[in-house]
Structure 1
Amino acid sequence: MGQSASAHEYSSGGSSSSSTHHRSITANLSDAVSFTDGNDQIHPVIFGDNQDYTSEIPDECLALIFQSLSSGDRKRCSLVCRRWLLVEGQSRERLSLNAVADIYSQIPAIFSRFDSVTKLALRCDRKSSSIDDEALALISLRCRNLTRLKLRGCRQVTDLGMAFIAKNCKVLKKFSCGSCTFGAEGMNALLDHCSSLEELSVKRLRGVNDGVVAAPIGPGAAASSLKSICLKELYNGLSFGPLIIGSKNLKTLKLLRCLGDWDRILEAVADRGDSNLVEIHLERLQLSDIGLTAVSKCSQLEILHLVKALDCTNLGLVAVAEHCKLLRKLHIDGWRSNRIGDEGLIAIAKNSVNLQEFVLMGLNPSSVSMSAIASNCKKLERLALCGSETIGDAEISYIAKKCVALRKLCIKGCHVSDQGIEAFAWGCPNLVKIKVKKCREVTSEVADWLRARRRSLTVSLDVEETEVETVEVSASDAGEQEDGVEYPPSVIRVANAGGGGGAVDAGVPSSNHAGRSSGFKSRISFFGGRGLVACTFGRWLNGNGGSNTVS
């Protein structure tokens, strides 16, 4: 595609291979070939009878074919002939432009060709000067049917440019901006005129951030239609309070790293008494149990992310558990503050019978709360345990035994060893993927063993590199079978070769993770009738499983 070709390749006297090539071209437009004549004119493929069979394809069908192609193939196909160029442009609904200042002179030509665009993204990097109000006004006049608009790094756009967008693109349904410089006036213009707006995402809005006190934003005419609001990294995010409180049909609210006391905003939403919120994300906010208790009044809540809110405790989490009975997804990052523990987690286990996804980060639950979660959350399909100092083999084994619906499991930075991972050879019958990361006592050997036991299970293991050690190994045995019985890796225990040899210990190690050695776990020595040879083990995990080399 896009390659130049001489005219004789398409003549009637071509070879059979050439004819086959012609048929393949007509079968798939993405494989179309064009050639350039002496006048630099692009022509479609012509067959031996000098007839262009693609001309019989209606424009509507041709447009549908273009829509099924990848972005690259679509661009190349548009260069085949003038008709394809025209049809491709008129059928394109999504367009992304490098919104630098120099693009202004090209805007009429661009949107004359792409006159049906409904989804537009304008991006500019930090080192370049972006389009200004005049360019944005020209775009808004050319794209009155826009339903989605994304602005990234358009620092030369002010409130005036946003006013043009608001007045000319009144059917907008989704608006997103990041690292822009317009302020409250431009945002209010958008909310006042775009009464069909459903999704609003604002990140690092410099105009709102400037100054100590920002003008209030919203509610505006869009408040009745808004279903999703996402605010991220705003100094004056509280200025969006009137919009949040006034959006009665809001389904999703995401507040991420925005300064200010958010308790009163959430209380105002809860006091309204008609909240339809289904999804709430709260990350690194000034938020206490007061705000979390307000969240608990959202009886329709199904998804809650509570990330690094240091003033939230068991009290707030218990309130959420007792009142939000429809919770399906719950993410908690306690940031190792130890303010959320067994009390809150047991309340979740008792009340959240519909829980399907549970992520615990920076928490130190005991075996009591973990067993309650495993026993009561029968619908749990996805579980992540990260950065916990109290989760060990006993807790993991209980999860393997009780979480029969579990499909995906992630364990990161916990005191888990091979013994805990071995439990999944028999437990969690619906498990399709297990990921273990930064668990020093889990070796690649158990990952290989688990893959062999459950071939349909994807095992992803990421451990720190271990030192190379030399141990004694029998030349007659691979080391995992004795008397016809296959032992799991944790059962095979051998003393270090430097300590004078050792013997196989078939006893299952204790589940007390505090007493386990943190050194190299898989030192193996087997005795056979053919003598001993030296075997050097390097790093077992290299991304594809373990390996050993006999020297």
Structure 2
Amino acid sequence: MGQSASASSHGYSSGYSSPGSSRRRYLTANQSESSSFSESNAQLSAVDDVDFTLEIPDECLALIFQSLSSGDRKRCSVVCRRWLAVEGESRHRLALNATADIHPHIPAIFTRFDSVTKLALRCDRKSISINDDGLALISLRCRNLTRLKLRGCRQVTDLGMSFIAKNCKVLKKFSCGSCTFGAEGMNALLDHCSTLEELSVKRLRGVNDGVVAAPIGPGAAAASLKSICLKELYNGLSFGPLILGSKNLKTLKLLRCLGDWDRLLETMAKREDNNLVEIHLERLQLSDIGLTAISKCPKLEILHLVKALDCTNAGVVAVAENCKLLRKLHIDGWRSNRIGDEGLIAIAKNSVNLQELVLIGLNPSSVSMSAIASNCKKLERLALCGSETIGDAEISYIAEKCVALRKLCIKGCHVSDQGIEAFAWGCPNLVKIKVKKCREVTSDFADWLRARRATLTVSLDVEEAEVEAVEVSASDAGEQEDGAEFPSSVSRATNAGVAGGVDVPSSQNAGRSSAYKPRLGIFGGRSLVACTFGRWLNTGNGSSNSGVL
């Protein structure tokens, strides 16, 4: 007892405790753990009830929505009422199925999407489209529209277009296709929309149906217009006053439009303030007179000449000798043999800035191909299609001399493994080569070339389904609604027959034009050029100055 008392008095413990005291300590520890666990659960529950997105400002949330795809935006809009409101207020681009059934819902749609500046109204052929009343209601709700696209709106007349013109005066881009309004509605748009910069008109039935079309333009919009695209119009020449009156016009596309276009181009060439940079001409009644007029455009950089059967070497030489700034040149001779060595040698001598060259249905000799390979030092993209004279020797010139070449497309030429072998060492900057319908090029050799140059993408005879899908996307990019222009004219031009297109025979050589129609050869199917460059369009590997690839 004395020892125990002494030890206790000095503050030491013997380590022994009674059973009662142990149970009390266990219960106390258990209660403490339970209490801590309950508090943690309560804190977690409180955290779960907190919506951290409430601290994100509406402006930041709107920026997040704008970076999402259309489907993700729709899913986010049903999360809560706030997200629904912010998503609607921040949506600037809207596409609607513009059938007649949409009319009762227009107020609700544009109450939610009250900030739309880019609007597309589309209706299929089997449905009844929105009418003038619906278009008037939309124009009142969307006074800040800068872009408007109408597709298949056959119930819209000149009256509906007048509503758009008067209520949407800040339009910068207008595009229509398969609509039924006419010259009066188009003139109303041009008179009131003084800031219009881009105009695209395709199969405008109100203009096509008239025997004598009323003149269109120039109007107040002529001062600001920079791009005009006319496609598949019987009375395309009715837009002549607009084209001639647009002093700041930089891009002109005339695709499958009836009429004698030589006179219009001659009149345009006489202007001192000719600022045209890009011209696309496809299946027009056009001769060397028109090409000579085009050669008087000193700022011309891009020219597409597709299936103009009356154009010869003389017209091409005039363009080459006078348009020193040419960067992109597409020529589809449709196997007429009217454009050949003389024109191509002139291009080689004068177009030192050429970066992109597409030759379809031409039969150049080794002399002209050697000249192009030797003189066009900046050539980065080259396509050779449907030529009966291009063989291994010409391809070897290209491999040896085209040092800057990055992308090459060959279709339907007499090229074999021996010619393609030159690219195992030549063209040090080449990143992609595509070969189709060249029977003497084998898949085994393509594999060898891939192994020889690991950085080179070699494409040989891709599947037709894949080709068609690529061409469709490329064709849509070519309508200037997303800024891409290369594939459209080439893809459409290399088809034997274009759905809904207009065949324009020459008045002077109608017999010859008809004779050439069956001689389409490999161009009766899909175009490799459009497929190839359509895919390259999204790679961004081209020159910064190309604007396409």
**How does the TM-score come out when normalised to structure 2?**
0.76
Deviation string 1:400-428 (CA, Å, 9 cap, x unpaired) is 00000000000000000000000000000
TM-aligned CA deviation for residue 47 of structure 1: 6.9
Gaps of 5+ in 2: 1-36, 465-549
Following superposition of structure 1 onto structure 2, how do residues 131-210 of structure 1 map, counting pairs within 5 Å? 131-210=130-209
Give the aligned partner of residue 350 of structure 2. 351
* Distance in 1 between residues matched to 2:462 and 2:188, nearest whole Å: 53
Give the aligned partner of residue 328 of structure 2. 329
* Distance in 2 between residues matched to 1:388 and 1:112, nearest whole Å: 58
* Distance in 2 between residues matched to 1:204 and 1:118, nearest whole Å: 25
TM-aligned CA deviation for residue 49 of structure 1: 4.2
Give the aligned partner of residue 63 of structure 1. 62
- Aligned pair 1:271/2:252, yes or no? no
Give the aligned partner of residue 369 of structure 1. 368
Deviation string 1:515-537 (CA, Å, 9 cap, x unpaired) is xxxxxxxxxxxxxxxxxxxxxxx
Deviation string 1:29-71 (CA, Å, 9 cap, x unpaired) is xxxxxxxxxxxxxxxxx97441211111111111111111111
* Distance in 1 between residues matched to 2:53 and 2:46, nearest whole Å: 11
Give the aligned partner of residue 313 of structure 1. 312
TM-aligned CA deviation for residue 292 of structure 1: 0.4
More moved, 455-464 vs 146-155: 455-464
* 1:73 partner amino acid: D
Given that 1:442 and 1:463 are in contact with CA atoms closer than 8 Å, whether structure 2 keeps it comes out as: no
Count of aligned residue pairs for this structure pair? 426
Given that 1:341 and 1:365 are in contact with CA atoms closer than 8 Å, whether structure 2 keeps it comes out as: yes
Structure 1 residue runs of 4 or more that deviate by more than 3 Å after TM superposition: 46-49
* Distance in 1 between residues matched to 2:210 and 2:119, nearest whole Å: 31
More moved, 262-271 vs 375-384: 262-271
Given that 1:336 and 1:363 are in contact with CA atoms closer than 8 Å, whether structure 2 keeps it comes out as: yes
Deviation string 1:216-256 (CA, Å, 9 cap, x unpaired) is 00000000000000000000000000000000100000000
Given that 1:397 and 1:420 are in contact with CA atoms closer than 8 Å, whether structure 2 keeps it comes out as: yes
- Aligned pair 1:457/2:456, yes or no? yes
TM-aligned CA deviation for residue 464 of structure 1: 11
* 1:316 partner amino acid: G
Gaps of 5+ in 1: 1-11, 23-45, 466-551
TM-aligned CA deviation for residue 273 of structure 1: 2.1
- Aligned pair 1:93/2:92, yes or no? yes
* Distance in 2 between residues matched to 1:197 and 1:93, nearest whole Å: 19
TM-aligned CA deviation for residue 463 of structure 1: 8.0
* 1:62 partner amino acid: L
Give the aligned partner of residue 398 of structure 1. 397
* Distance in 1 between residues matched to 2:315 and 2:274, nearest whole Å: 18
* Distance in 2 between residues matched to 1:393 and 1:57, nearest whole Å: 64
* 1:233 partner amino acid: E
Deviation string 1:348-379 (CA, Å, 9 cap, x unpaired) is 00000000000000000000000000000000
Deviation string 1:289-343 (CA, Å, 9 cap, x unpaired) is 0000000000000000000000000000000000000000000000000000000
* Distance in 2 between residues matched to 1:213 and 1:341, nearest whole Å: 39
* 2:120 partner amino acid: A
Against the structure 1 CA distance between its residues 140 and 345, is the aligned structure 2 distance closer, same or farther, given a 3 Å change threshold? same
* Distance in 1 between residues matched to 2:462 and 2:132, nearest whole Å: 52
More moved, 203-212 vs 46-55: 46-55
TM-aligned CA deviation for residue 272 of structure 1: 1.2
Give the aligned partner of residue 285 of structure 2. 286
Q: Which structure features the higher share of helix residues?
A: 2
TM-aligned CA deviation for residue 211 of structure 1: 2.0
- Aligned pair 1:441/2:432, yes or no? no
Following superposition of structure 1 onto structure 2, how do residues 223-242 of structure 1 map, counting pairs within 5 Å? 223-242=222-241
TM-aligned CA deviation for residue 108 of structure 1: 0.2
Q: Which structure features the higher share of strand residues?
A: 1
Deviation string 1:248-273 (CA, Å, 9 cap, x unpaired) is 10000000000000001111110112
Deviation string 1:83-105 (CA, Å, 9 cap, x unpaired) is 00000000000000000000000
Given that 1:404 and 1:430 are in contact with CA atoms closer than 8 Å, whether structure 2 keeps it comes out as: yes
Given that 1:233 and 1:258 are in contact with CA atoms closer than 8 Å, whether structure 2 keeps it comes out as: yes
Q: The residue matched to 1:275 in structure 2 has which SS? A: coil
Computed over aligned residues only, the root mean square deviation of the Cα atoms, in angstroms, reads: 1.8
* 1:263 partner amino acid: D
* Distance in 2 between residues matched to 1:106 and 1:313, nearest whole Å: 56
* Distance in 2 between residues matched to 1:390 and 1:52, nearest whole Å: 71
Give the aligned partner of residue 30 of structure 1. none
Q: The residue matched to 2:59 in structure 1 has which SS? A: helix
Deviation string 1:188-220 (CA, Å, 9 cap, x unpaired) is 000000000000000000000012210000000
Following superposition of structure 1 onto structure 2, how do residues 73-92 of structure 1 map, counting pairs within 5 Å? 73-92=72-91
* Distance in 1 between residues matched to 2:200 and 2:191, nearest whole Å: 16
Give the aligned partner of residue 215 of structure 1. 214
Q: The residue matched to 1:202 in structure 2 has which SS? A: strand
* 2:126 partner amino acid: K
Q: The residue matched to 1:80 in structure 2 has which SS? A: coil
* 2:252 partner amino acid: L
* 1:63 partner amino acid: A
Give the aligned partner of residue 508 of structure 1. none
Give the aligned partner of residue 304 of structure 1. 303
- Aligned pair 1:112/2:111, yes or no? yes
**How does the TM-score come out when normalised to structure 1?**
0.76
Given that 1:438 and 1:464 are in contact with CA atoms closer than 8 Å, whether structure 2 keeps it comes out as: no
Deviation string 1:455-503 (CA, Å, 9 cap, x unpaired) is 00000001899xxxxxxxxxxxxxxxxxxxxxxxxxxxxxxxxxxxxxx
Q: The residue matched to 2:358 in structure 1 has which SS? A: strand
Identity over aligned residues, as a percent?
88
* Distance in 2 between residues matched to 1:240 and 1:201, nearest whole Å: 12
* 2:50 partner amino acid: Q
